[in-house]
Chains A and B, each alone.
Chain A
C-alpha cells in the first residue's frame, strides 16, 4: 500500500510536463484576470462585509484602495514571473500568498462563490512545487553562470510528479463534492423531476453571474427526456470523477466530459467556469504531446533534408526529454 502510494505520487518523472503546466497555467491566469479590477472592492461599503471563515481565521481585514491596487500589481507581476520561470520559488509563493487575499476578498461581500477555489489551491500547490526547474529563465540563468552556452538536462524526480497529481486530486474532490451535494439535496428526483428544465429557463431571467451565451437552454428545456439525460450525466460524471485519478480509461471519458459540461454550462446556463477550464491543462499528458511533437519535427526535418533514416536531427528544437524507452518504462 505504502509502495503504491509512493509510486502514485512520487514516481520519477521528467520536469518538462510540469514546466509546461506552469507556463500555461500562470500565463492563462494572467490573461484571465487581466480585465478584473480587484482594487475596486476597496470602494465597497463595509455594510456588505460578511467575513468568510478564512479571513476571520487569518485576521484579514479590508485594506485601503492604494494598498489593494499595489497588491494587485505585485500579484500580476508574480503571475508573469512564475509563467516565465524567473525567481520561480519566490514568485510562485507571492502569487499564492497575495492570491489568498485578492481572490478571497470578493467572497467577503454578500456571498461565497467558488469560481476561484481551484485556482487558489493550484497556486498553493505550485508554490511548494519545483516547477521552475525546466523551461524557465531561472534554469537559463543558472546554466549561464556555471557554464555559458551549455544547459545540462534536468534529472528526473518525483518532485515533478506530485504537483500534477495533486491538482488532479483537488479537481476530483471538487466535482465529487458537487455530485454528492446533488444526491444529498435532490436525490433521484434531481434527475427524474423537471429540475434541469426549470433551471434552464430560469437562467434566462438574469439570475447568474453572467447570462447564458445562447437561448439553446430553452430548446433543451422543451424536451424533458433530454433534461433528464443531462441531469443524470451531470450527477454521474461529477460523482465518479475521482475514478479518473486511478483509471486511464475512466480518465479518457470523465475528464473531457466534465470539461464539455462546464463549457455547456456557460452556453446554456450562464455561470462562468473559465478558471476550471484552465486547470484542465493539468490532465493533458504533456510528456506524450511533447514526444509526438518531437517525432513530427524530426520527420519533417528528415524529409525536407532528404535524409531517410537519420538517428539524430542536429540543430532541431527538442521538446521532449524522455529517456530511452527501456529506461522510461
Chain B
C-alpha cells in the first residue's frame, strides 16, 4: 500500500506514497464528476453548481422586484425601503428578495410570510436597540412588488412606475394581511 511511486528525479526528491496518489486521483475524479454533472444537467448541488448567474437574456429595459418597506411608528407614519444590510442582517438584499420570492410566489408557502416578516421586523428592532443601526422604530413591515421602466441614468431608482402591496404585518400580534 505504501509502495513508492517512481517519481524521484534527484537527490532531494521524496517520492509520493502510492496510497496518497490514489487518494488525490480519487478526489480529483470526484470533484470533476460532481462539477460536470451539474454543468451537463444544468442543476445545482451546492457546493457544485452550473453557475447560471447573469446567464438569462434581458430583452426588455424593465425591472420587477420584491422589496420590503418599513412603516415608521410616528404620528404620521412614513415608509422607507429596508435596503441596507445592517437593518436586515444576516440577510443581504439579494438573499432576502430571493427568500421572500420563494414564499410570495408559491401558494403553499404564502402562509410563511407572516412569521417571516415578523422575524425580520423583530431582528430589525433588536439591531436598532443594540445600536447596530440608527433607523426609526417600526410599526409595520410591508412587502411590495415594484415595477420600473429603466432610466438610462437610473434617476428613477426611488420612484418606481408602480408599487403593488403584496403583504403586510404589523408589530401588534395579529395575522398578516395578504393583498392580492
Residues of chain A having any CB pair with chain B under 8 Å = 6, 9-12, 37-38, 40-41, 43-45, 47-48, 50, 52-54, 104, 106-107, 109-114, 116-117, 120-121, 124-125, 128, 153, 155-159, 162, 166, 169-170, 173-174, 176-178, 180-182, 184-186, 189-190, 193-195, 198-199, 201-202, 204-210, 215, 218, 221-222, 269, 271, 323, 327
Q: How far is the CB of A127 from chain B (nearest CB, A)?
A: 10
Does B99 belong to the interface (CB within 8 Å)? yes
Nearest A residue to B61 via CB reads A198
Given contacts A10-B16, A155-B14, A186-B56, contact A40 B90 (CB under 8 A): yes
Interface of chain B residues 121 through 172 with chain A (CB within 8 A): 123, 126, 148, 150-154, 157
Given contacts A109-B99, A169-B28, A207-B94, contact A202 B150 (CB under 8 A): yes
Do residues A205 and B98 form an inter-chain contact, with CB atoms below 8 A? no
Given contacts A9-B28, A207-B65, contact A174 B12 (CB under 8 A): no
Contacts of B90 in A (CB 8 A): 37-38, 40-41, 43-44, 106
Residues of chain B having any CB pair with chain A under 8 Å = 5, 7-16, 20-21, 23-25, 27-28, 31-32, 35-36, 38-39, 42, 44-61, 63, 65, 81, 83, 89-100, 102-103, 112, 115-116, 119, 123, 126, 148, 150-154, 157
Select one of B39, B45, B96, B126 contacting A176, CB under 8 A.
B39
Do residues B10 and A185 form an inter-chain contact, with CB atoms below 8 A? no
Nearest B residue to A114 via CB reads B49
A107 and B153 alpha carbons, distance in the complex (Å) = 33
Contacts of B10 in A (CB 8 A): 12, 156, 323, 327
Select one of A37, A43, A173 contacting B35, CB under 8 A.
A173
Do residues A181 and B55 form an inter-chain contact, with CB atoms below 8 A? yes
Do residues B95 and A209 form an inter-chain contact, with CB atoms below 8 A? yes
Q: How far is the CB of B77 from chain A (nearest CB, A)?
A: 22
Interface centre among A125, A162, A166 (most CB of B within 10 A): A162
Do residues B16 and A159 form an inter-chain contact, with CB atoms below 8 A? yes
Minimum-distance CB pairs A-B, first 4: A110-B99, A111-B98, A45-B119, A204-B154
Do residues B51 and A181 form an inter-chain contact, with CB atoms below 8 A? yes
Contacts of A12 in B (CB 8 A): 7-10, 13-14
Nearest A residue to B160 via CB reads A205
Do residues A111 and B47 form an inter-chain contact, with CB atoms below 8 A? no
Q: How far is the CB of A92 from chain B (nearest CB, A)?
A: 14
Do residues B95 and A50 form an inter-chain contact, with CB atoms below 8 A? no
Given contacts A110-B95, A157-B16, A185-B52, contact A44 B119 (CB under 8 A): yes
A147 and B111 alpha carbons, distance in the complex (Å) = 69
A44 and B121 alpha carbons, distance in the complex (Å) = 11
Do residues B45 and A53 form an inter-chain contact, with CB atoms below 8 A? yes
Do residues B46 and A104 form an inter-chain contact, with CB atoms below 8 A? yes
Do residues B116 and A48 form an inter-chain contact, with CB atoms below 8 A? yes
Contacts of B46 in A (CB 8 A): 52-54, 104, 107, 112, 114, 117
Do residues B53 and A178 form an inter-chain contact, with CB atoms below 8 A? yes
Contacts of B61 in A (CB 8 A): 194, 198, 201
Do residues B116 and A114 form an inter-chain contact, with CB atoms below 8 A? no
Do residues B35 and A180 form an inter-chain contact, with CB atoms below 8 A? no
Do residues B57 and A209 form an inter-chain contact, with CB atoms below 8 A? no
Do residues B83 and A190 form an inter-chain contact, with CB atoms below 8 A? no
Contacts of B50 in A (CB 8 A): 177, 180-181
A198 and B149 alpha carbons, distance in the complex (Å) = 11
Contacts of A124 in B (CB 8 A): 27
Contacts of A120 in B (CB 8 A): 47
Select one of B20, B57, B154 contacting A190, CB under 8 A.
B57
Nearest B residue to A184 via CB reads B42
Do residues B55 and A10 form an inter-chain contact, with CB atoms below 8 A? no
A222 and B9 alpha carbons, distance in the complex (Å) = 59
Do residues B49 and A177 form an inter-chain contact, with CB atoms below 8 A? yes
Do residues B91 and A109 form an inter-chain contact, with CB atoms below 8 A? yes
- Apart from A9-B25, A169-B28, A174-B49, list 18 A-B contacts with CB within 8 A: A12-B7, A12-B10, A112-B44, A114-B49, A114-B51, A153-B12, A158-B15, A159-B16, A166-B31, A177-B39, A184-B55, A202-B58, A202-B63, A206-B157, A207-B97, A208-B93, A209-B94, A327-B11
